[in-house]
Amino acid sequence: MTVDRLQFERHVARLCQALAQQARPLFSGREAPVVARAPGRLDVMGGIGDYSGCQVLELPLAVGAFACVQRTRAPHVRIVSAGFGHDVAPLRDISLPLAELREACCSYAEARAYFGASADRAWAAYVAGALVALRVELGVELSGGLDILLCSSVPEGKGVSSSAAVTVASFRALCALIGVDVDPVRGALLCQRIENLVVGAPCGVMDQMTSSCGNEGRLLAITCQPARLDGSFPVAEGLSFWGIDSLLRHQVSGASYTEVRVAAFMGYSILAQALGLPVRQAAPPGKVVIDDSRFGGYLANVGVDAFERELAPRLPERLSGADFLRDYAGITDTVTEVSPGSTYRVRAAAAHPVYEHARVHEFRSLMERGASSATCARLGQLMYEAHDSYGACGLGSLGTDRLVRLVRDAGAARGLYGAKITGGGSGGTVAVLGASDAEGALREVVARYAREVNGEPHVFRGSSPGAAEFGIARLVLGDGNVRLERGERSGPVPCERPKGFA
């Protein structure tokens, strides 16, 4: 079991008791609720390159989201969301009528309209979106009422994938309750679809893949073309990763992230046309299909040499959406669109996945060799280069830049080797690489930053299993106590390194 098991059990016991006293009891059915757990993740390398086919390296964090699901005879699906704090009051509590849900679950578009029509139920899309995916993709109908409880210790808006943890945990718990067997990779892809098409967040796939398929204490390598597991490997002996919260809220649906994503796809369309690749108009307007036998549809496959020699000079540094739509048919991305009134940093956004893909491969190769002083220095340099690339795209922030600078100033002499902004950028969490015995230096960095911003940054430490490795448990309720019992345990997700992988 995970380190947060006892905390979860105690919190659920207090919460159920409080709700019963308020005549709003939870889990009144006969069967023990099914429980799944999915962790947040620390984006070590790769980041926003995921939507351009980059390989990414992700560490499942010790914090996670528990989803508990029970069948009921009620004519609704009740969803209760609660944190892990001392306050037992639910953060959110909503009941969605079965009749409404059955109608809304017919398609992703209808579900997005339903959940988006009310601010009170928009948050529930991350949970109930699983019902949409199960119906649309697998033909599973909602046959009766449900009680769903979410307890998450993954803080929202910190760039550690709180939304993916909730979505993956909810999806796996509902699959287990219904009796549907969905393998961890396909489940991650369906959870990405939930966030893209039901919630409306244009995220890549690395968050859901890590939350679903990650292994405790190991870096998960994912080649996002669209979602190939390329093995997991341990952090080199003597090294550790931490995440430091910049106290600046990150939102994957924010304008900066979306603009950089659009700019990357604009760059790909420009390169395709310049190279004479067949481009076909798709629906709706502004979308295209590119027959790309050279790069397979991904900027990450361009390669640094080819990019610098023949492609970078063809890309404008900046380009307005109106000028792009005038000269090009559109972009291949299905979850974003070019805004005529916006100006995009095309060259930097297109260059990032090309260089980041190369950095990630070098980072993994070095990490697997062990922690020599020269290796640690180069690993840190790769992280600093990745951070600077985020800034060139427009995804930096004063807080994350300052944290990276403080780590760099402490340097290898204090056992801190590298740092970078993570995830979608524009705030959120900074990943730090250092010697395992460098906790003192890390605390000094955090203390100095805390004084400068007059706040208390959270530090993410440790790791935990992904949802598949955690498996499925049951929540045993009785006499005011709650006990989590291990049920089916999937074990580590097999993700062998492909033959010929260099």
Q: Give the domain CATH number at 302.
A: 3.30.70.890
Q: Specify whether 284 is located in the same domain as 141.
A: no
Q: Which tens digit of pLDDT belongs to each residue from 17-47?
A: 888 888 788 887 778 899 999 999 999 999 9
Per-residue pLDDT for 84 more than 80? no
Closest listed residue to residue 221, CA positions, set 464, 440, 213, 229: 229
Single-letter amino acid code for the residue at 434: G
φ and ψ at residue 401, rounded to 5 degrees? -60, -40
Q: Do the domain assignments include residue 57?
A: no
Shared-domain flag, residues 146 and 241: no
Both 160 and 247 in a single domain?
Answer: no
Summarize the chain as % helix, strand, coil (round to 5): 45, 25, 35
**337-353 burial by CB neighbour count: b if 16+ within 10 A, else e?**
bbbeebebbbbbbbbbb
Query: Is 410 exposed, middle or buried (CB count within 10 Å of its CB: 0-12, 13-18, 19+)?
Result: buried
Domain-embedded: residue 202: yes
Please give the Cα distance from 429 to 466 (Å, whole number): 20
Q: Please, what's the b/e burial string for 433-444 (b: 16 or more CB within 10 A of its CB; e: otherwise)?
A: bbbeebeebbee
Question: Is there a single domain that holds both residue 297 and residue 407?
Answer: yes
Residues 28 and 140 in one domain: yes
> Tell me, what CATH number does 16's domain have?
3.30.230.10
- The angle, 0 to 180 degrees and rounded to 10, between the axes of the packed helices 373-393 and 398-410 is 160
Q: How many independent structural domains does the chain possess?
A: 2
76-81: average pLDDT: 94
4 is catalytic: no
443 and 317 housed in the same domain: yes
Tens-digit pLDDT profile for residues 148-175: 999 999 988 888 999 999 999 999 999 9
pLDDT digits (tens, 9 = 90+) for 361-406: 999 999 999 889 999 999 999 999 999 999 999 999 999 999 999 9
Catalytic, out of 207, 245, 292, 333? 207
Is position 462 within any domain? no
pLDDT, the chain, mean: 91
| Domain co-membership, 174 together with 93 | yes
Candidates 30, 48, 20, 66; CA nearest to 300 is 48
Range of the domain at 367: 235-456
Assigned domain for 47 exists: no
Q: 319 and 436 share a domain? A: yes
Same domain, yes or no, for 328 and 249?
A: yes
- Average pLDDT in the 288-303 region? 96
112 domain residue, yes or no = yes
Q: By C-alpha distance, which of 13, 67, 16 is closest to 39?
A: 67
- Three-class SS of residue 447? helix
Residue 91 pLDDT: 75
Q: What is the pLDDT of residues 330-344, one digit of tens each?
A: 999 998 999 999 999
Q: Which helix (H) or strand (E) holds 419?
A: strand 416-421
Confirm whether 227 is domain-assigned: no
Write down the pLDDT at residue 502.
Answer: 24
Q: 435 and 480: one domain?
A: no
SS3 for 190? Answer: helix
Residues 438 and 370 in one domain: yes
Q: Is residue 501 one of the residues assigned to a domain?
A: no
Cα(203)–Cα(208) distance, rounded to whole angstroms? 10
Residue 119 is predicted with a pLDDT of 86
Looking at the chain, the whole-number percentage of residues with pLDDT higher than 90 is 76
CA-to-CA distance for 306 and 360, rounded, in angstroms?
18
pTM above 0.75, yes or no: yes
Residues 182 and 247 in one domain: no
